Amino acid sequence: MTPIIEFESVTITYAGAERPALANVDLSIGEGELVLVIGQTGSGKTTLLRAINGLVPHFTGGTLAGNVRVAGRDTSTHHPRDLADVVGVVPQDPLSSFVTDTVEEELAYGMECLGVSPAIMRRRVEETLDLLGLADVRDRALMSLSGGQRQRVAIGAVLTAHPRVLVLDEPTSALDPGAAEEVLAVLQRLVHDLGITVVLAEHRLERVLEYADRVIHVPGDARPLVVGTPADVMISSPVAPPVVRLGQMAEWSPLPLSVRDARRQARDLRTRLEQRPARTIPVREQQDTVVTVERTRASYGRVPALRGVTLDIAKGEIVALMGRNGAGKSTLLSTLVGLRRPDAGTVRIDGVDPATLTGPRLIGRIGLVPQDSTDLLQRDSVAAECADADRDAGVEPGTTAELLARIAPEIPADAHPRDLSEGQRLVLALAVVLVATPAVLLLDEPTRGLDYPTKERLSTLLRDLAASGHAIVVATHDVELAAETATRVVVLADGEVVADGPTAEVLVGSPLFAPQVAKVLVGPEGTDVPLTVTEVRQALAVIG
């Protein structure tokens, strides 16, 4: 296989950094490969991806020692714009990278810059619309598209330039499981049918691992990269999807990478697990109800967002709110916190209408960590943010800093919130909200951009909070998080509750929402299967 991307002893150091972000990287990626880049947050994945088309160092600054060559062009002499015809880069947030305002114009933009002749441009736009299934939305404004459509437009927009390499940074992390599968199917097709080389970074390994030809593990702290087949890398990787961790625990060989592989090897485990005691479902006590939502309706202009939602949430519950993008999850959260008044129906938090509350009376009852946790953080240092939170909540100075030190001791007090990693920012936002000791805690899509260790820490934290009497609602696309933490799952579709019940019951029954472990272990009958690796381990310990 001829290499199309070559890294020769590359060391990248950002200006002002003490040590390099990547050191002595030697790497060669062949034509038509699908390469998955994994690693913890802040390990240098994005730096590696951005070095491929020369954004590092041409755009970001810093120094790059060694050589990066793409299709024979050296990035030290070629700017990103001179590589635009061989490398297509799809950034993390597609919306912020769109230049024009309609689908068709966006697809043509790159070609216009490259000076492709109008006749060829027209043809390629039509081809790409069909290839990515975007023909129905060709005239639509980009702002009006769904998450999956936006991601596909962003891919199409770089694809029309006919690049030989496609680089994607977390293409599925903001998408619901269905939309993520759409995008991955497109990538599969590009690799298989058109021979394009795809390099993608992703935290949600359970979605992409089975498609990868090779995996590059970026361990961080400038340690050497681990490159190999998915099975080889997974044996030692600290970040691994549930199916791999199940395989590691059961000592299966070869290590399964997909649910299909694992099911073949899981027969014994399945029969052993049949002897485990039946799951006990905790009985909810009515008097503990803190959130009451009754026949609530809300709409944006003429578009209904909630159509008569009824819901009770009690103390100690962790409710996972699921459903595709635009199903009404965020609307329900903002109604709960009183940001929107419902068009009809009632919302009560602790018996009070949240829309009538302000200041300490509001944040003492209910707290929301928004999707982008930076929204909540407005000061230029962690310490200042904590001091503000103390004042807002009317508690003794230093309380927030103490709380933060307990849940995340490694966050430096003098850091700028925007310089923290995604996970650290989330924890800071959580601390800021929690210091007011709200009875109800809402989180909107908290695991976006989080790696597995950070996610685990979040799960533990949420379980502890629930045990101490908080009611928690998590709107999420992440089925593994729901399986790991939630006691109850509510599925919304088109603004209506379509499923509401204990986590195991709701998740196992759905092909889209079932967590990997359940998919591996579910038998022909019954829904009583473990959902997570932890649960399997506990069950095996009981059986002995």
Partner 1 sequence: MARSQTPEQAPQHPGDLTDSFCGPDVPPGGTFRPQKHRRATRLPRLLHPGAWWLWAAGLAVAASRTTNPILLLLIVAVAGYVVSARRSPSPWARSFSVFLKLGLIVIAIRVVFQAIVAAPIGTTVIFTLPALTLPEVMAGVRLGGAVTLESLVAALYDGMRLAAILICVGAANSLASPARLLKAVPAALYEFGLSVVVAVTFAPQLVADLDRVRTSRRLRGRTVGGVRGTAAVALPVLEGALERSVTLAAAMDSRGYGRQAQRSPLVRHLTAAALLGALVLVVIGAYALLDASAPAVMGLPMLTLGFALGITGFDLAGRRSVRTRYRPDPWSWPEWGVTLCAAATAATLLAMSVAGVPGLIAPVDPLGWPAVPLLAVVGILVSVLPALIAPPAPGTRLRGEVGT
Candidates 35-43, 266-274, 375-383, 487-495 — which segment interacts with partner 1 by CB under 8 A? 375-383
Contact segment (CB under 8 A) with partner 1 among 104-112, 171-179, 202-210, 483-491 equals: 104-112
Q: CA-CA distance, 90 to 521, in Å (whole number)?
A: 36
Query: Cβ 499 to partner 1, closest distance in Å?
Result: 29
Distance of CA 428 to the CA centre of its chain: 18
Q: Does residue 246 belong to the site contacting partner 1 (CB under 8 A)?
A: no
Residue 201, interface with partner 1 (CB under 8 A)?
no
- Alpha carbons 336 and 153: distance in angstroms, whole number: 33
Cα distances (Å, whole numbers) of residue 508 to 175, 430, 452, 474, 533: 20, 30, 22, 19, 15
Contacts 24+ apart (CB under 8 A), 391-394: 392/360, 392/363, 392/436, 393/360, 393/363, 393/364, 393/435, 393/436, 393/437, 394/360
Q: Is 97 in the site for partner 1 (CB under 8 A)?
A: yes
Q: Is 185 helix (H, G, I), strand (E, B) or coil?
A: helix
Give the interface segment with partner 1, choosing from 224-232, 358-366, 479-487, 527-535 (CB under 8 A). Answer: 358-366
Closer to partner 1 at the Cβ: 211 or 252?
A: 211
What's the CA gap between 366 and 463, in Å, rounded?
17
Binding residues among 461-500 for partner 1 as defined by CB under 8 A = none
Cβ neighbourhood burial of 377 (10 Å; 0-12, 13-18, 19+): buried
Total residues interacting with partner 1, rule: CB under 8 A = 87
d(CA 367, CA 435): 10
Closest CA to 476 of 513, 511, 502: 513
Only segment of 113-121, 262-270, 452-460, 497-505 that touches partner 1 (CB under 8 A): 113-121
Does 53 help bind partner 1 (rule: CB under 8 A)? Answer: yes
Question: Judged by CB under 8 A, does residue 77 bind partner 1?
Answer: no
Q: Which is nearer to partner 1, 196 or 205 (CB)?
A: 196
Strand partners of residue 368: 442
Cα(402)–Cα(435) distance, rounded to whole angstroms? 10
Contact status: 518 vs partner 1 (CB under 8 A): no
Instruction: Starting at the earlier edge strand, list the strands of the sheet with 344-349.
Output: 303-314, 289-300, 344-349
Nearer to partner 1 among residue 16 and residue 524 (C-beta): 16
DSSP-assigned letter for residue 286: G
Any contact of residue 224 with partner 1 (CB under 8 A)?
Answer: no
CA distances from 121 to 4, 110, 118, 288, 295 (A): 25, 10, 5, 63, 51
Smallest gap from residue 529 Cβ to partner 1 (A) = 38
| Window 131-170: contact mask with partner 1 (x via CB under 8 A) | x-------x-x--x------------xxx-xxxx------
Nearer Cβ to partner 1 (6/82): 82
Write down the least CB distance from residue 142 to partner 1, Å: 10
Smallest separation (angstroms) from partner 1 to the CB of 484? 26
Among 81, 264, 295, 341, binds partner 1 (CB under 8 A): 81
Q: Which residues within the stretch 180-199 sit at the binding site for partner 1 (CB under 8 A)?
A: 190, 193-196
Q: Indicate the burial class of 393 (C-beta count within 10 angstroms; 0-12, 13-18, 19 or more).
A: buried
β-strand pairing of 226-228 with 22-30: unpaired
How does DSSP classify residue 396?
Answer: -
Residue 495 CB, nearest approach to partner 1 (Å): 21
Residue 356 contacts partner 1 per CB under 8 A:
no
Site string for partner 1, 377-396 (x = CB under 8 A): -x---------xx--xx---
Q: Is 339 in the site for partner 1 (CB under 8 A)?
A: yes
Candidate residues 42, 109, 279, 415; the one interacting with partner 1 per rule CB under 8 A = 109
Question: Per rule CB under 8 A, is residue 82 in the interface with partner 1?
Answer: yes
